[in-house]
Amino acid sequence: MKRNILHALMFALLLSSCDLVTPDKVVNPNVDESAFLSSDNPMETWVNGTEKEFALYMGEFVQLMEILSDNYFNNYTRSSKVFDLPQLLYTDIDVTNLQRYVGTLREMADYGLQTVANADANTTDEERFHLLTIKAYSFLLAGDFFRALPVDNGGEAVEWGEQLSQAMNVLDQALPLAQTDADRAYIHTLYARAAHRKGDRSTAVAHAREALRLSPDLCRQLQFDSSNGVLNGAQEAIWGNWFQPLPRLDFLDPKYYQLVSTDQTPITIAKAEENYLILAEAALAEGSLADAKTWMNGLLTLVASRPVQTDVNDQLEGRYNGGHRHFPSDPAFRVQASPADSLRSGLIIDRRPPHLITVHPISGTSVTQTMVNGLANHDDALELVYLLRQEIFFAEGRRPADLGIRLPLCEVEAASAGNGRNFLEPHIPSFVPMNYGLDEFTVDEAAQTVTITHNMNRVIVNNASTADVAPFE
């Protein structure tokens, strides 16, 4: 990973002060690590560069994780053509790159905390906070999506549960440095996320409650900047029409959009909605359907308050890009989540000329209070929680973790880690349909209906007793 750190250093220099960059924005070739560390305010430059790398990596992470789910199908020639299967080979360059993103973020944060901070007497608690939260997030990514990864350069592969424990340890370090209630809520939300995935219900509940007390509408996002080439890779695929959503999620697409050609939509990495979802799921695990309904209804109130973007022109979206298969585009179509489910209207929206659409850049859902209040048993409520999770986190790269899918250790790291060969195979639960089954649906043109082959939220409930999904069950 040393090579990646040096690359990141050069990236940081590109974003630094005029003392390190010539007037034509060419990096001075005489600026080495020593010169950087002795420059004015190197920590400010390093934090800026690390945050930009974080944004770039998350754009790529979200793009690939959305294919590796039942959210999107890659109907074009760009991006991975095998994650949809899903096929996750330890030799796949995308698997390797995703792992490198995680490792590079961790090492950039450590370099800033251990080296740059020692060289810069002006380093602030706020700067340390930013680096610690990025480091914690790298452990969250490792714990959510990989079977195991090294936690230091050339070290042994550490399994996913310990990665999440590492995230929690780093968040403990970051919390005293938080400057605002929103910062503290951000820490507690990430902590609740890690504890939820580990199945630690009491810890997750405590942190979710505290996060909502501090900031009931928290929304932490990564920003992009087209003028400096910091582009949202997920937006390129989703707004660029490479990907087609599962028809029952059509109304949420696209989360990333452009009103003018230079627009770059931010990616949300933490929001208060997660805490409501955790608390609802915990209430069900504790046998309280009434409390679960209360938390879900509170969530719906929050989602309704989130900003929307109206009058978005998505008329180039033909739902046939790439020519692989037709996706329905007429709002007259009703959709059922499986052959056993009822048909629902309003899930497919009209984006054909002259129609303009409304976009939900933070959160949107098809779930209503009537649906919540009508819940009569645990399993139906848990299924609705996971539908909410799917819709709320749509296009944020979260769904594979809820499906229990984990990537293998890549070939390079497996060769250097003594225990690496133990993690060369991905973990794909037996209940996850293969051969594009996650994305399967049929269309009845005459009846104007769409039937999804697998309702994966019900599949999650049916397999809640396994170690793969529904951590609180």
pLDDT at position 315 is: 93
pLDDT at position 326 is: 83
Report pLDDT digits (tens) over 135-178: 999 999 999 999 999 998 889 999 999 999 999 999 999 999 99
Confidence of residue 18 (pLDDT cuts 50, 70, 90): very low
pLDDT at position 240 is: 87
Q: Bridge-partner residues for 157, per DSSP?
A: 150
pLDDT at position 29 is: 52
Long-range contacts of 336-340 (CB under 8 A, 24+ apart): 336/449, 336/450, 336/451, 336/452, 337/248, 337/452, 337/455, 337/457, 337/458, 338/451, 338/452, 338/453, 338/454, 338/455, 338/458, 339/451, 339/453, 340/455
Report pTM: 0.94
In the chain, what percentage of residues exceed pLDDT 70?
93
pLDDT at position 368 is: 98
Dist. CA 253–CA 234, nearest whole Å? 12
Q: Which two tokens stand for residue 381?
A: 């409520």
Confidence of residue 20 (pLDDT cuts 50, 70, 90): very low
Look at phi and psi of residue 368 and say left if phi exceeds 0, alpha if psi is from -120 to 50, else beta: beta
Assess whether pLDDT exceeds 70 at residue 3: no
* Region 82-107 average pLDDT: 96
Report pLDDT digits (tens) over 302-311: 999 999 999 9
Report pLDDT digits (tens) over 209-245: 999 999 999 999 999 999 988 999 999 999 988 999 9
Assess whether pLDDT exceeds 90 at residue 271: yes
Assess whether pLDDT exceeds 60 at residue 472: yes
Q: Which two tokens stand for residue 445?
A: 């043109």
The residues, ordered by sequence, that sit 6+ positions from 292 with a Cβ below 8 Å of its Cβ are 280, 281, 283, 284, 375, 381, 385
* Region 255-281 average pLDDT: 97
Report pLDDT digits (tens) over 338-350: 999 999 999 999 9
pLDDT at position 22 is: 38
Q: What is the DSSP secondary structure assignment for residue 113, as one 8-state letter?
A: I
Assess whether pLDDT exceeds 90 at residue 251: yes
Assess whether pLDDT exceeds 50 at residue 327: yes
Positive or negative, the CA dihedral 162, 167, 168, 174 is: positive
Report pLDDT digits (tens) over 280-290: 999 999 999 99
Q: What is the DSSP secondary structure assignment for residue 408, as one 8-state letter?
A: P
Q: How many residues does the chain have?
A: 473
Report pLDDT digits (tens) over 52-71: 999 999 999 999 999 999 99
The residues, ordered by sequence, that sit 6+ positions from 132 with a Cβ below 8 Å of its Cβ are 109, 113, 170, 171, 173, 174, 177
Q: How far apart are the first and last CA of the chain?
A: 38
Confidence of residue 15 (pLDDT cuts 50, 70, 90): very low
Confidence of residue 8 (pLDDT cuts 50, 70, 90): low
pLDDT at position 39 is: 85
Assess whether pLDDT exceeds 90 at residue 1: no
Dist. CA 266–CA 255, nearest whole Å? 10
Q: How far apart, in Å, are the Cα atoms of 253 and each of 264, 273, 307, 360, 365?
A: 16, 19, 15, 8, 12
Report pLDDT digits (tens) over 433-458: 999 999 999 999 999 999 999 999 99
Dist. CA 164–CA 159, nearest whole Å? 9
Confidence of residue 77 (pLDDT cuts 50, 70, 90): confident
Assess whether pLDDT exceeds 50 at residue 19: no
pLDDT at position 23 is: 38
Give the Cβ contact number of residue 236 at 10 Å.
Answer: 17
Q: Which two tokens stand for residue 374?
A: 């009508």
pLDDT at position 87 is: 97
Assess whether pLDDT exceeds 80 at residue 372: yes
* Region 271-298 average pLDDT: 98
> For all residues of the chain together, what is the average pLDDT?
92
Assess whether pLDDT exceeds 60 at residue 17: no
* Region 363-390 average pLDDT: 98
